[in-house]
Structure 1
Amino acid sequence: MSTQVEETKETAGKRAAKRPARPKKSNGQWKVDGQEPLNKNEIEKAEDNGLNVRDRIETIYSKNGFSSIASDDLHGRFRWWGLYTQRKPGIDGGRTATLEPHELEDEYFMMRIRTDGGQLSLEQLRTIAGIANDFARGTADLTDRQNIQLHWVEIENVPEIWRRLESVGMQTTEACGDVPRGFLGSPVAGIAADELIDPTPTIKEITSRYIGDPSLSNLPRKYKTAISGHPSQDVLHEINDCSMIAVEHPEHGIGYDLWVGGALSVVPRFAERLGAWVAPGQAVDVWLGVTQIFRDYGYRRLRNKARMKFLLADWGPEKFREVLETEYLGYKLADGPAPEKPTVAGDHVGVHQQKDGRYYIGTSLVAGRASGTLLHQIGDIAEKFGTDRIRLTPHQKILLLDIAEDEVNDVVAELDKIGLSSRKDLFRRSVMACTGIEFCKLAIVETKQTAIDAVTRLEEHLADIDELPHPISLHLNGCPNSCARIQTADIGLKGQIVTTDDGEQDPGFQVHVGGGLASKDRDEAGLGRTVRGLKITVDGLNDYVEKLVRRFLAGRGETETFSEWAHRVDEEELV
């Protein structure tokens, strides 16, 4: 019997040896597989560059109306100019996954305005406020990527909006699409007393040279950049495709530490250090090289595998750095040290002294919800106290710069009057929410108003708590895609339909706890812990968060953060 088995194995082995090897399936890497498009998105990008749609918007679609827009432009190339159709009102979250995109969309657009580095002048702020009131039904939300999003925009008004924005040096170019999206930059760049280096010149040079450049306008997927010279590491470098964080080299001085391959969504992955020190004069070339690697070697066959994080996972940081240096830079980068762990918060809420002796004031908008009217009110305060500089943060907050010391209290009081707090409040400082079902076609639950209601009730119910040892971040996302960074929040809530004990289908959330980045009370970045089987309804949100906070305060160690506590305790403590 054993001899027959051996003979069978031998015969099978010979047959396998004669069988021709299966051809390796293409990943759509341009430098490896050629540029033949392998899916619908790549075909449409190859047929016409997304940047070219602007001319059709201005000369055809804005004149002939929504019905005149070609489908491949509407659902593809419009993104290259910051435009998405928004969700049609009245469609509940349970139908999000069952309807076709055209059944979900309205004949109105979300428009995303780039504010690279989050820097705005008073004139720019007022221009956005005017556009919001004139063309967007007053909407103007702050995103966690330092952009501003308008809603209810009609195609007929897009050319006029562009004209107004560009007259004050702003743009929507490549605010969406498979392109270099808006750049995260330290909101206190150039003014913070403890800043190591000002990245503003680098961000300005990159955006002026390469945003709108056709050679970089067909990337495998979206591509996100973050650059900061502040020791708080305030741009979330662990979850961006390409990041540069200020660090002091023992021989070469202040430069940047290079990180590549971070992103969240449904397959979260933190960026990795390449171990390379980037001199300030090298930063633009290094960014270009990393971006070109993504263009040339990024995976294009499957769209859900097309982010930089998948390439980095396969290559590893050593190979990525070698390719960057040998194929794209033509020189070796110096080895460099890792940045030190931050000792100050990166949200910049509160009153802080600038390097010139004046002050900047960071104020909290709840979940980034703003309006044209509110932006005008902020502009009035800025003008009254003589500042021309406003900054947006990656935490959906606003900063007013250049406030005289003797006027700080007056500015704080004026901001309070319009509902903006500059204090380190219990929750409003650290709550974040994505667009949600109000406008987003992917969403399942409402997020903005839910977050606003939650903050109001939690601050009432927890009024007996004077101060938390660390702010507890509460992030609400309307779907699994993590635009609100739920996996890196102390309490992250992922929208879904929940079946109640009564068998009812209600909007609710899956719960993640204990996430965080190295820039937030952690030794290193870590994903939140999913509380297995726990799903809460929107109506049960406040009671759950209150219960969790009280358990933390009662059971934590003397110096223990919420994140540390959440990962230490038994799961029973978290339900």
Structure 2
Amino acid sequence: MVADTRDNQRGAASAKPRAKKPNAQWKIDGTEPMNHNEEFKLEDSGLNVRQRIEEQYAHEGFDAITDDDLHGRFRWWGLYTQRRPGIDGGRTAKLDTRELEDRYFMMRIRLDGGQLSLEQLRTVAGISEEFARGTADVSDRQNIQLHWIEVENVPEIWRRLESVGLSTTEACGDVSRVILGSPLAGVAADEILDPTPVIDGIKSRFIGDPELANLPRKFKTAISGHPSQDVVHEINDISLVGVQHPEHGVGFDLWVGGGLSTNAMLAKRLGAFVTPEQAPEVWHGVIRIFRDYGYRRLRNRARLKFLMADWGPEKFRQVLEDEYLGYSLADGPEPIAPEHSGDHVGVHPQKDGKYYVGLNPMVGRVNGATLNALADLMEQHGSARLRTTPYQKLVVLDIPEESVASFVEKADELGLTAAPSVFQRDTMACTGIEFCKLAIVETKDTATRVVGELEERLADVRDQLPEQLSLYVNGCPNSCARIQTADIGLKGQIIPDGEGGQTSGFQVHLGGGLANYRNDAAGELGRTVRGLKVASDDVAEYVEKLIRRYIASREEGETFARWAKNADEEELV
């Protein structure tokens, strides 16, 4: 009887739900670190490493850099060690970071709103040619990324950047990253409002603020007042999207909690209207919620999207208003569905009578020589302003009408076309195995090759292709190239080669899209087809087959994304 009682007690005890482990939320669990990443951030701010770089590491060299600085705090100043050449993708997950890395750095130049003056463009081009072996990639975060940077040269690079108003401050790390902004801010004839003052206000007040320099993970911002909603607002931690309120005039619709990577989630509308005057304070409130309530125990759950998933938009808005703002925000309207693309490729009129020209560098790859030549071309044709875009494009502003044709012709000679093919226009690729320690496959050259092959393979149906069809290529599962949001997204993997070995390949995502005129203004994540993996060498053949099936079976007006979402799996393999 006693034994039975003990068994029952044990059974009852085992049936009790296990106590949840704390998430290391500062406002709930305290600031005691629960992993090494949190330890080194509390021991010394990432912002403080700059002094050691300037006074010690630049003089003593790579071997003098401490581990927590090299693999942690350097990120706060836009620096990551790059991948050592010759390490194949099959070894990415098997080797320690120290075995994967080279003695050179990727440096990310922060371009809030993607804005560059002619002087700034020439400075970046000069740095590229002198210190980065000519490299200069335009990222889908509107930054420019350099490679082959040596620590000995970092102080001089900073000096040159800062002399023209640029920086690498908080370009990486657990901080507020670059602020995406509409490339047409202040120039578009159909702009709802110019977000530049809001972006500038946030940057000047809060970027580099020690109080915001230890977040659970990165914090991404997007702000646009353009009706094309051109800053991929659904996949940022906070987004402010331009709207017209029937009572309060122009302002922003507030979105929070988006992010992709291996656990993709789209941002949620809080239903709140934010005036331009309120916007910096609202941004400050949201980032402090992330700092104070964000999950820190497990790094793979430390993005704001996980807090949003647990709280929901109603609670998030209540906490924002009650604990951080001290006032209620007005309810506001949803953004109106876009009527045209937000990549801004081509020639378009500005509100002042001049023109902007959206140029396509293939998968964002340019170099210092090209940027210098572009600067010369801009100056010759009366332009002194350049914008980068979240689609790896370049937008040149202020071209007089009489100079447009000449500018477009000469830009094309630089490999920067204003009239790209369907596949040139909407293909993006991340850095890939060439430089990235996380990558499994090559991306930039693969994407370029696939584009060329598709233009030949589908030449006979060119007039039946949609105006745009996005093909995004990523070298690993982390989705820097936004694969879940593409018509066709390719996630790098090592796959069986059919002969008992392995080869580089991709898992396929189909039918994704963010708010745009081709996708019914509905952000959706792409679907995966069970077991569908394509070798790198076979990508063009697979995409050709897929597009021909779409052309043959689509209904009138049906987008590729909608067709791919609704198609039977047999049609997609």
Alignment TM-score > 0.5, same fold: yes
The one-letter amino acid of 1:287's match is: W
Tell me if the contact between 2:179 and 2:220 (Cα under 8 Å) persists in the aligned partners: yes
Ranges of 4+ aligned residues in structure 1 off by more than 6 Å = 7-11, 17-22
**Partner residue of 2:566?**
568
1:17 deviates by 8.4
1:18 deviates by 13
- What whole-Å deviation, never above 9, does each CA across 1:28-61 have from its counterpart, x for those lacking one? 1111111111100000000000000000000000
**Partner residue of 2:344?**
348
Alignment of 1:357-506 (within 5 A): 357-464=353-460, 465-466=462-463, 468-506=465-503
Superposition TM-score, scaled by structure 1 size:
0.97
Please state whether the residue corresponding to 1:437 is helix, strand or coil. Answer: helix
Of 219, 231, 240 in structure 2, the residue corresponding to residue 223 of structure 1 is 219
Unmatched runs of 5 consecutive residues or more in structure 2: none
The one-letter amino acid of 2:40's match is: E
The one-letter amino acid of 1:106's match is: D
1:189 deviates by 0.4
Superposition TM-score, scaled by structure 2 size:
0.97
C-alpha separation in 2, matches of 1:512 and 1:22? 37
**Partner residue of 2:511?**
514
In the superposition, relative to structure 1, how do residues 139 and 18 fare at CA in structure 2: closer, same or farther (>3 Å)?
A: closer
Tell me if the contact between 2:89 and 2:433 (Cα under 8 Å) persists in the aligned partners: yes
Tell me if the contact between 2:224 and 2:241 (Cα under 8 Å) persists in the aligned partners: yes
Tell me if the contact between 1:497 and 1:505 (Cα under 8 Å) persists in the aligned partners: yes
Tell me if the contact between 2:294 and 2:304 (Cα under 8 Å) persists in the aligned partners: yes
- What whole-Å deviation, never above 9, does each CA across 1:408-430 have from its counterpart, x for those lacking one? 11111011111111115221110
In the superposition, relative to structure 1, how do residues 34 and 385 fare at CA in structure 2: closer, same or farther (>3 Å)?
A: same
Tell me if the contact between 2:464 and 2:551 (Cα under 8 Å) persists in the aligned partners: no
Tell me if the contact between 1:179 and 1:216 (Cα under 8 Å) persists in the aligned partners: yes
The one-letter amino acid of 1:67's match is: D
Matched, 1:75 2:75: no
Matched, 1:234 2:230: yes
Unmatched runs of 5 consecutive residues or more in structure 1: none
**Partner residue of 1:141?**
137
**Partner residue of 2:55?**
59
The one-letter amino acid of 2:567's match is: V
Tell me if the contact between 1:426 and 1:467 (Cα under 8 Å) persists in the aligned partners: no
C-alpha separation in 1, matches of 2:494 and 2:13? 52
Tell me if the contact between 2:176 and 2:220 (Cα under 8 Å) persists in the aligned partners: yes
Q: How many residues in Structure 1 have an aligned counterpart in Structure 2?
A: 570
C-alpha separation in 2, matches of 1:313 and 1:107? 40
1:185 deviates by 0.3
Tell me if the contact between 2:422 and 2:467 (Cα under 8 Å) persists in the aligned partners: no
Matched, 1:41 2:32: no
The one-letter amino acid of 1:388's match is: A
**Partner residue of 1:212?**
208
Of 542, 545, 564 in structure 2, the residue corresponding to residue 544 of structure 1 is 542
The one-letter amino acid of 1:113's match is: I
**Partner residue of 1:104?**
100
Of 116, 119, 126 in structure 2, the residue corresponding to residue 123 of structure 1 is 119
Please state whether the residue corresponding to 1:401 is helix, strand or coil. Answer: strand
In the superposition, relative to structure 1, how do residues 20 and 511 fare at CA in structure 2: closer, same or farther (>3 Å)?
A: closer
Q: Percent identity?
A: 65
**Partner residue of 1:177?**
173
C-alpha separation in 2, matches of 1:549 and 1:411? 34
Please state whether the residue corresponding to 1:204 is helix, strand or coil. Answer: helix
Alignment of 1:245-394 (within 5 A): 245-394=241-390
Matched, 1:525 2:518: no
C-alpha separation in 2, matches of 1:520 and 1:181? 28
C-alpha separation in 1, matches of 2:7 and 2:437? 57
C-alpha separation in 1, matches of 2:323 and 2:250? 26
1:357 deviates by 1.0
Please state whether the residue corresponding to 1:208 is helix, strand or coil. Answer: helix
1:176 deviates by 0.2
The one-letter amino acid of 1:374's match is: T
C-alpha separation in 1, matches of 2:6 and 2:22? 32
C-alpha separation in 2, matches of 1:282 and 1:47? 34
C-alpha separation in 2, matches of 1:17 and 1:435? 52
C-alpha separation in 2, matches of 1:133 and 1:9? 79
C-alpha separation in 2, matches of 1:224 and 1:30? 20
- What whole-Å deviation, never above 9, does each CA across 1:360-416 have from its counterpart, x for those lacking one? 000111111110011111111101101110000000000110011121111110111
Please state whether the residue corresponding to 1:541 is helix, strand or coil. Answer: helix
CA RMSD between the two structures: 1.8
C-alpha separation in 1, matches of 2:567 and 2:24? 45
